[in-house]
């Protein structure tokens, strides 16, 4: 996964506005725990597409 670190500084979780951290092929919210997929190096920041924490 190639996401510009400057982008990670500005994007936030659309659900809780928490910081997102890259984990494997997802961006995981450090606030609520939602895991957003990254497809073709593009973050898909849609709550309906996010995986809920277990």
pLDDT band of 11, cuts 50, 70, 90: very high
How many whole angstroms separate alpha carbon 52 and alpha carbon 32? 9
In a domain, 20, yes or no: yes
pLDDT band of 3, cuts 50, 70, 90: confident
Q: What CATH number is associated with residue 20?
A: 2.20.25.10
Q: What is the total count of domains within the chain?
A: 1
- The domain in which residue 19 lies consists of 5-49
How many whole angstroms separate alpha carbon 54 and alpha carbon 47? 16
In a domain, 54, yes or no: no
**pLDDT surpassing 80 at residue 53:** yes
In a domain, 32, yes or no: yes
Arithmetic mean of pLDDT, 3-8 = 89
Question: Edge-to-edge strand order for the sheet containing 20-23?
Answer: 20-23, 26-29, 35-39, 42-43
């Amino acid at each position: 996964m190639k996401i510009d670190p400057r982008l990670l500084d500005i994007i936030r979780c659309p659900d809780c506005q928490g910081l997102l951290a890259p984990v494997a092929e997802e961006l995981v919210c450090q606030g609520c725990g939602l895991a957003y997929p990254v497809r073709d190096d593009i973050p898909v920041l849609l709550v309906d597409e996010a995986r809920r924490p277990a």
